A and B are shown apart, each in its own frame.
Chain A
Amino acid sequence: MNFGAVSAIYRAEMARFFRTLLQSFISPVISTSLYFVVFGSAIGGRIQEVEGIAYAAFIVPGLVMLSVMTQATSNASFAIYFPKFIGTMYEYLSAPISFFEITLGFVGAAATKALFIGLVILATATLFVDLTILHPVSMLAFLILTCISFSLLGFIIGIWAKNFEQLQLIPLLVITPLVFLGGSFYSISMLPPAWQVVTRFNPVVYLISGFRWSFFGQADVPIGVSLLAISGFTALCLGIIWLIFRTGWRIRS
């Protein structure tokens, strides 16, 4: 195992993050505050509470998940696409590093950044609402698993992408709608029965539900199912990456 290489990649990626720390830090804080103003105060003024939880507090897990998923995906996809774009991929291919180690470095860094942003948003949220976390360990576990699995997804997108448009395509067309329709801002039970069935096919529902359970002890789907869903998603991404590296698809000629 080449730990030196994993650490070199991880540190280089984190250095990129810290170079733009202000943007990395300020932008999630501002957007979260805006969400709270719009959803929490404006809409929350009418909805009051969902399933016995104040609406402003109810949306916190969804808000955190929304940012974490999009940040993890875009960070990881950009990180691996960039060497392809500027031509430094040769360096990774000719060094004594396995593909597993490359993935570990890149995905580890992308997941760390997403986790950092998730925690910042959580901290921002406490400025607006009273928040109690019923199951902090499970909350952290869900958060970390989501950071990792969506970084893996981003990594796949970055390898697949042939240009910057494609790099933006999946996050824009797939992830954002799935997150918005995944019960970030409402409970699934608030939907008409037909839409409740459709929603069951949205994997993000399981993640947000499980994450929300960690906060309030209430969930749209059983916690075990949520855990199974996120583990399955992580395993699927790992499998795809393993296949990509085995075949050298879009990486090695």
Chain B
Amino acid sequence: MAPIVSVRDLTKTYAGGFTALDGVSLDIEEGEIIALLGPNGAGKTTLISTICGITMPTGGTVEVGGHDVVRDWRQARDLIGLVPQEIALEPFSTVWNNVRFTRGLFDRPRDDAHLERLLRDLSLWEKRDAKVMELSGGMKRRVLIAKALSHGPRILFLDEPTAGVDVELRRDMWRVVERLRGEGVTIILTTHYIEEAEAIADRIGVISKGRIMLVERTEDLMRRLGRKELRIELAEPVEALPDTLRREGLERVDGGQALVYTYDTHAERTGITALLADLQAAGLQLADLSTSNSSLEEIFVGLVKEDAA
């Protein structure tokens, strides 16, 4: 099946000479959720803006649903809903009118039932007659999401949707995202919260300095790089590892005060049970146990550092 979004060698150089996108190529399949990770200024927002028609590309092409975003902009944009990073709303108009306005911009006939469901899903229904200026920041963000979904887009862009957002809204938002996933809507989000990308995205792309560093299925990425460390604090330091304990991944650290065992979380056998049994058999007293993830965060920081070097 042809990808619903196809980005080819996309470059964007601003008038000031700053290159925000430097030859980006990316295919996004219909119905998938893809998370774009990257530090500030990496080009995430420029990439989204170019796909949505807000920014004109300097070079390369973008096709949305088979329509070139520059040549067949009307058909391409018709498929897209965009939740921007910054809160920008008509302050004097009501929630209801704000959402209805966006639906109108996309030339959709009036559909009060659809808008009601949307507002209820986003806990905005009680506030439908309130002016936007009277709402809290979190509520305004909900209005932005409702607007982006008002015309029933096939592709939804969420630019840093959870930056500075409370737990309740985040939960509501992911519930809506789950529902949209069920309806086959393609979702592209940028985020700083790596756990979020890990939890929700089918694929993860990492952007740095206007280039795509990697795009991989989330589970593949986690399997490849998702290793865990088990730290075992000993009651008494050991001079050397007894032969019965020697194995791959186990190290003596802190002058023998602790042992660190690195293992693969996705492996069939982690070897933890055997290790603990062997520790007991060797007569070592344990003071404490702790585990830590080599998370996507570390992978990400590592990748970006590698690039900088």
Contact = CB atoms under 8 A, between A and B. Distances in A.
Interface stretch (A84-92, A140-148, A211-219): A84-92
B107 A4 contact: yes
Contacts of A2: 74, 105, 107
Contacts of B56: 248, 252-253
Contacts of B174: none
B294 to A, nearest CB: 38
Given A3-B107, A15-B93, A86-B90, A253 B101 contact: no
Contact of B101 (A12, A97, A98): A12
Interface residues of A, number: 27
Interface residues of B, number: 35
Interface stretch (B81-89, B111-119, B198-206, B248-256): B81-89
B90 A5 contact: no
Contacts of B14: 253
Contacts of B93: 12, 15
A31 B84 CA distance: 43
Interface string A81-109: 00000111011111111100000000000
Interface stretch (B2-10, B47-55, B189-197): B47-55
A3 B105 CA distance: 9
Contacts of A97: 105
Contacts of B54: 90, 93-94, 252-253
B97 interface: yes
Given A96-B77, A97-B105, A90 B82 contact: yes
B108 interface: yes
B107 A96 contact: yes
Given A16-B92, A253-B14, A92 B107 contact: no
Contacts of A93: 52-54
A134 interface: no
Contacts of A9: 104-105
Nearest to B104: A8
B55 A253 contact: yes
Contacts of B53: 93-94
Given A90-B54, A93-B54, A252-B55, A5 B86 contact: no
A4 B102 CA distance: 10
Contacts of B92: 16, 19
Nearest to B84: A90
A4 B104 CA distance: 5
Contacts of B88: 86-88, 90-91
A7 B106 CA distance: 11
A13 to B, nearest CB: 11
A12 B49 CA distance: 25
B74 A96 contact: yes
A207 to B, nearest CB: 33
Contact of B106 (A5, A19, A252): A5
Nearest to A5: B105
A7 B109 CA distance: 12
B21 interface: no
Contacts of B106: 4-5, 95-96
B33 interface: no
B101 A8 contact: yes
Contacts of A96: 73-75, 77-78, 105-107
B77 A12 contact: no
Given A3-B107, A4-B106, A8-B101, A94 B91 contact: no
B80 interface: yes
A197 B62 CA distance: 57
Contacts of A248: 56
A94 B109 CA distance: 19
Contacts of A16: 92
A88 B90 contact: yes
Contacts of A19: 92
Contacts of A88: 88-90
Given A5-B106, A94-B77, A86 B91 contact: yes
Contact of A8 (B15, B86, B105): B105
A94 B97 contact: no
Nearest to A12: B101
B148 to A, nearest CB: 9
Task: Among B97, B104, B108, find the residue whose CB has the most chain A CB atoms closer than 10 A.
Answer: B104
A89 B287 CA distance: 61
Contacts of B108: 4
Interface in A226-253: 248, 252-253
Contacts of B77: 94-96
Nearest to B105: A95
8 contacts: A8-B103, A12-B93, A94-B77, A96-B78, A248-B56, A253-B14, A253-B15, A253-B56
Given A86-B89, A96-B75, A98-B74, 11 more contacts: A4-B106, A5-B105, A8-B105, A88-B89, A91-B88, A93-B54, A94-B52, A94-B54, A95-B77, A253-B15, A253-B56
